[in-house]
Structure 1
Amino acid sequence: MSRASQDLFSLRHELVRYATAHGIRAAMRQFGCARNTVRLWLRRWQDGDDSFQNHSRRPHHQPACTPPKIEQAVVAARKKAPCFGARRLVDMFVLPVGKGAAHRILRDHQLTRRRQRKHKRKADLRKIKAAHAPLTHLQMDTKYLNDIPHYWPQMQAQGLPRFQYTIRDEATGALFVSYSSELSKTCATLALSRLLDHLKAHGLDPSLVEVRTDLGSEFDGDTVHYRPDGFHGSLLASGARHRFNPPARPNANADVESSHATIEAEFFDLETFHGTRHFLASVTTYQHFFNFARKNRSRSDQTPAQLLAHNAPHLDPRILLLPPLLLDPLMGQDLSRPPGKQAGEKARRLKLGIDVHWAQYVVVAQYDDASPRPARRFTPESFVEWVKARLGDAQEVNSCYEAGAFDYVLHRRQEALGVRNMVVRPRNWDQYGKKVKTDQRDALALCGMLDRYLAGNTETLCVIRVPSESEERSRGQTRQRDSLVSDRGRMSNRGLSTARYYGYDLPKDGGGRWRSSVWRRSCPNTFTRPWPAGTRSCWRSTIKSRH
């Protein structure tokens, strides 16, 4: 309670006490207030309200108040699309409530997000961009998808793309996306060339197009001598212009950068996928929603399709229907089938390098003579299902992993599926002394050595003979007994060390040092001394239990 509130409480308390003792009229004269004021606080005090706080002036009946049913609809819409604010919730869900009322409901239910503070005001280029002709000034960038918590487990389990190649128009805000499993100059070139060919097919001259990118290596940002087949050379060969953004100027690519935040919140954080086909269908639906239904407040609250129809009525609206595409098949790196093969066509050989752990397997795959695929992580159960699905991709499947503490269970599972598996001798795979050891590097090295081994160089791997299950059980019992005997010898030596610590000696032959008769002959006074006796009993009982 503040000091002002304390003073007000004391004043009202003295007023009530004085009115009780001397009457209402005397209290009115004494405190210089109206008669109704004295009656108000006296009546509240007599009714049991001794807090002396002001009551709310809110009316008991509000005809214009939002009904609870509509309020629940606003809350449900917000929980369904947490990425939408009050304005977009009203527009997208057609809620019968104003934007201000919707914001108040979200605030009352603590469903609003605190707006991030901007430490530096950015230059407003909206008017300049709006003056451009539609689809003539494009911004391009790449988005990493492996840092999205909701999408990353699905990407690992289902082999979904790791990178998004985004192209966005400055004038209309239209969005075009492509996907790949690698970040490369080739993928960026394919994504842009596909869009330029699409624009040309709809009557847009590529010489009018200017593409802005950052200085990333995938956009030839670090290239000194441009090649005709590189990103920059291919772009100029098509007739378009290429412009690099200045270093450390993210606002120069603000449109495409903001679309990355939008698509992450509205798509990747909400959707659950069931394979590559479902991913492509979902992202195609979202791109069409973005271009034809999603209003952009920074562009007069209009959709890209509306802006295109207004500013370029001669262009067919179907120019915005270019669907997203996986770029890996165009490069021979499709994760769902062998490289360079059509659907139903098999590769000659699939090679798998497996780094085995108890809870997960890290796997690198290589089809024939193509480049190895990026490493993927599986649980033991999901790996078996993945291998079953890959059996139809190649005429022969080979795999290898290092022998270790987990026996030959994985080998027998692989053989039962029809996979030719090899268990190899463990070794240090860091051939060049880089002092970097990761599961991905080990799996890649195993896959590379397996490729050389199958090509005829049998010195690359030391293959271990896998025993039968009966041989393994017999050998396991012998090894376990030898281990226990070794443990007994170590404990016996510790008992000898303990006895000599207290000045006694035991026979050099450790065969029966733990027996009571040996201790009585060698250490007759040990049983009368409490600490050595307790130590001797502890070691003797432990060793006998091991024997």
Structure 2
Amino acid sequence: TLAIRLKEQLPSWGAERIKRDFSLSLSSKALCRIWREEGLLKRKRRKHQTKQNLREVKRKWRLFEQTCLDTKDLKDIPELWPQLKLHDLPLVQYTAREVVSGWQFVAYAQERALAYSKLFAEIIIHHLQSCGVKFKESRFQTDNGCEFVGSWQAKSDSEFTRAVEAVRGLRHHTIPPKAHRWQADVETVHRLIEDEFYEVEQFTSRADFLAKARAYNLWFNVARKNSY
């Protein structure tokens, strides 16, 4: 049946998303029952901590008041690992997510590096300014990774911090150590892109990977129906 074929093609997608995006008439419970009988249900890899719920806080924020930035290791995804080795694909994803709108920006590199984070921030800032965005008491929030703050022994601001705070109305804010819940918005899209893209797509080359990543990001920002 169509429900079985879709689950085989998109094993990491849930019943609600498949039902909604493909306009299936079956209920979510019926889909789960069919998939369970066919042995198609998979157990999700869960985080040990509950992510911070920012819905009430976000309602009070202005657009572009806070953008969360983080990095994601791609070599830890079992479904993607063989293709990483075969096609020499990027190993690290750089992610930015605007908290109010859910807007996402993604870039790739072979490693975590302060220079790449600085370039990533500069590209985002230039793009937003070219679209007429005016920063006012805005912030780029990150964790305390060396790709954002440099050495833990540093006595001055990192190149990333200086690049961000050189822009009028914009500052760099770091979360407290081990306070990963503060980055719940960007952690959420890391889970989504893993479920919806990395676990289900096949790539023929590095160029094919980057082209499909651009298409996914465009779909995520423009067409995807968000339910969280």
The answer, yes or no, to whether TM exceeds 0.5 is yes
Give the SS at the match of 2:61: coil
Kindly state the Cα deviation for residue 263 of structure 1 after the two structures are TM-superposed: 1.2
Residue number in structure 2 paired with 1:288: 218
1:109 to 38, 44, 52: 38
Kindly state the Cα deviation for residue 123 of structure 1 after the two structures are TM-superposed: 4.3
Percent identity of equivalent pairs: 34
1:177 to 106, 124, 128: 106
Kindly state the Cα deviation for residue 85 of structure 1 after the two structures are TM-superposed: 0.9
Letter in 2 for 1:236: E
Distance 1:179 1:242 in 2: 21
1:274 to 193, 200, 204: 204
Residue number in structure 2 paired with 1:252: 182
Asked which structure has the greater RCO (Cα within 8 Å, sep 6+), the reply is 2
Residue number in structure 2 paired with 1:135: 64
Distance 1:151 1:290 in 2: 20
- Any conservation in 2 of the 1:207–1:241 contact (CA below 8 Å)? no
- Any conservation in 2 of the 1:220–1:226 contact (CA below 8 Å)? no
Kindly state the Cα deviation for residue 185 of structure 1 after the two structures are TM-superposed: 0.3
Residue number in structure 2 paired with 1:204: 133
Residue number in structure 2 paired with 1:242: 172
What does the per-residue CA deviation read over 1:12-52, in whole Å, with 9 as the maximum and x for residues that have no partner? xxxxxxxxxxxxxxxxxxxxxxxxxxxxxxxxxxxxxxxxx
Kindly state the Cα deviation for residue 283 of structure 1 after the two structures are TM-superposed: 0.2
Mind listing any 5+ residue stretches in structure 2 that lack a counterpart?
A: none
Residue number in structure 2 paired with 1:190: 119
2:95 to 166, 169, 172: 166
What does the per-residue CA deviation read over 1:455-478, in whole Å, with 9 as the maximum and x for residues that have no partner? xxxxxxxxxxxxxxxxxxxxxxxx
* TM-score computed with the length of structure 1 as normaliser: 0.39
Q: Choose between structure 1 and 2: higher helix proportion.
A: 1
| Residue 98 in structure 1 maps to residue 27 in structure 2 | yes
Residue number in structure 2 paired with 1:310: none
Residue number in structure 2 paired with 1:264: 194
Describe the shift of the 1:114–1:267 C-alpha distance in structure 2 as closer, same or farther (beyond 3 A): closer
- Any conservation in 1 of the 2:105–2:217 contact (CA below 8 Å)? yes
Distance 2:49 2:167 in 1: 38
Distance 1:264 1:118 in 2: 14
Residue number in structure 1 paired with 2:54: 125
Deviates more, 1:111-120 or 1:94-103: 111-120
Letter in 2 for 1:137: Q
Distance 2:87 2:51 in 1: 40
Distance 2:208 2:127 in 1: 24
Distance 1:117 1:186 in 2: 32
| Residue 83 in structure 1 maps to residue 12 in structure 2 | yes
Letter in 2 for 1:245: I
What does the per-residue CA deviation read over 1:132-171, in whole Å, with 9 as the maximum and x for residues that have no partner? 2233311100111222233333323333211110001111
What does the per-residue CA deviation read over 1:203-237, in whole Å, with 9 as the maximum and x for residues that have no partner? 1113443111000001016253335x701111100
Residue number in structure 1 paired with 2:81: 152
Mind listing any 5+ residue stretches in structure 1 that lack a counterpart?
A: 1-71, 299-547
Matches within 5 A, 1:109-508: 109-114=38-43, 123-220=52-149, 222=152, 224-227=154-157, 230-239=159-168, 240-298=170-228
- Any conservation in 2 of the 1:188–1:218 contact (CA below 8 Å)? yes
Give the SS at the match of 2:105: strand
- Any conservation in 1 of the 2:11–2:42 contact (CA below 8 Å)? no
* TM-score computed with the length of structure 2 as normaliser: 0.89
Kindly state the Cα deviation for residue 124 of structure 1 after the two structures are TM-superposed: 2.5
Letter in 2 for 1:259: V
Kindly state the Cα deviation for residue 74 of structure 1 after the two structures are TM-superposed: 1.2
Distance 2:49 2:108 in 1: 33
Distance 1:149 1:217 in 2: 26
Letter in 2 for 1:282: K
Distance 1:122 1:145 in 2: 21
